[in-house]
């Protein structure tokens, strides 16, 4: 629909398929009057639905399902946590080796087609400067690392940019975000997306944990969708502008 309504603005790339055969689509935003300065220098790629099988399952069976839907050999428990399946400290504490766990890491890194398709896209592109993973919930803006307490080499810059981004976010509705490295701000998490992208040389790797802080949790009221999007866009703009101004 986005492509059909904005043919001069948006194009679609099929980056792969997940276990049940649904396509994984990446939208490539080519131009936009508001973002002229950024888009004169860079493209923006949006992976709208990283886990379409899991998303479909939330509409049919379990509204807060988290994992993929691929069977696990030798277990009656289905699926792997896509945010514990990346080749970044995957065997460290912070992910489970139990197929029945919500944070099951899988048999090996990048075993999930949903993850592998993004890995292949990132590697084939070869020149990504920022990577943002958007999740819920907790109202946090996080940067690497999640699997180790060792600070990433760009921690000072990432910390300052996170502070700027959440300040811009709060300017709209006053929503308060915490920020910092994953392991120091939320908990130890291994095999995570942005730890892998950062280790691939994508300096500006961040994860948003969107509204709220626990009152509604994963079942956020629909009337908060647009306010969440509008305030988050301000933070995304801060990250994109900084990336534009600080990369070749």
pLDDT at residue 33 is higher than 80: no
**94 dihedral zone (left: phi>0; alpha: psi -120 to 50; beta):** left
For residue 18, pLDDT over 70 is answered with yes
For 149-167, what is the mean pLDDT?
A: 98
pLDDT of residue 91: 94
Mean pLDDT over residues 193-219, rounded? 98
* Tokens standing for residue 174: 């006053």
pLDDT score recorded for residue 19: 80
Nearest to 181 by CA among 203, 212, 149, 157: 149
Query: Which one is catalytic: 112, 114, 209, 231?
Result: 209
Answer whether 196's CB lies under 8 Å from 86's CB. yes
Res. 8 pLDDT band, cuts 50 70 90: confident
CATH of the domain spanning 2-245: 3.40.630.10
Cβ atoms of 137 and 217 closer than 8 Å: yes
pLDDT recorded at residue 35: 77
> What's the pLDDT band for 22 if we cut at 50, 70, 90?
confident
**Is the pLDDT at 174 greater than 70, yes or no?**
yes
Residue 200: what pLDDT?
A: 98
pLDDT of residue 86 exceeding 80: yes
From 238, 163, 234, 239, select the one nearest 194 (Cα to Cα). 239
Q: Is the pLDDT of residue 131 over 60?
A: yes
Question: What is the per-residue pLDDT for 205?
Answer: 98
Residue 209 annotated to the active site: yes
Residue 31: band (very low, low, confident or very high) from pLDDT cuts 50, 70, 90: low
Average pLDDT, the chain: 93
What does pTM read for this prediction?
A: 0.93
Mean pLDDT to the nearest integer, 54-63: 95
Cβ-contact 57, 65 below 8 angstroms: yes
- The 10s digit of each residue's pLDDT in 87-111 is 999 999 999 999 999 999 999 999 9
Cα angle for residues 26, 29, 34 (degrees, 5° grid): 150
């Amino acid at each position: 629909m986005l492509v059909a309504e904005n043919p001069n603005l948006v194009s679609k790339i099929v980056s792969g398929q997940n276990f049940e055969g649904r396509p994984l689509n990446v939208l490539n935003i080519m131009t936009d009057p508001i973002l002229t300065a950024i888009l004169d220098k860079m493209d923006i790629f949006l992976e709208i639905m990283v886990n379409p099988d899991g998303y479909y399952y939330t509409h049919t069976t379990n509204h807060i399902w988290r994992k993929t839907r691929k069977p696990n050999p030798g277990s009656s428990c289905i699926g792997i946590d896509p945010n514990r399946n990346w080749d970044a400290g995957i065997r460290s504490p912070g992910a489970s080796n139990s197929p029945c766990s919500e944070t099951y890491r899988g048999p090996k890194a990048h075993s999930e087609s949903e993850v592998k398709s993004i890995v292949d896209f990132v590697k084939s592109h070869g020149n990504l400067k920022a990577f943002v993973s958007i999740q819920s919930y907790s109202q946090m803006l996080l940067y690497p690392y999640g699997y180790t307490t060792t600070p990433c080499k760009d921690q000072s810059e990432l910390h300052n940019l996170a502070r700027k981004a959440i300040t811009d976010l709060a300017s709209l509705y006053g929503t308060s975000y915490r920020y910092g490295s994953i392991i120091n701000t939320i908990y130890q998490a291994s095999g995570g997306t942005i730890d892998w992208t950062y280790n691939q040389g994508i300096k500006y790797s961040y994860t948003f944990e969107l509204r709220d802080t626990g009152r509604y949790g994963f079942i956020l009221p629909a009337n908060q969708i647009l306010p969440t999007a509008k305030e988050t866009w301000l933070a995304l703009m801060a990250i994109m502008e900084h990336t534009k101004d600080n990369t070749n």
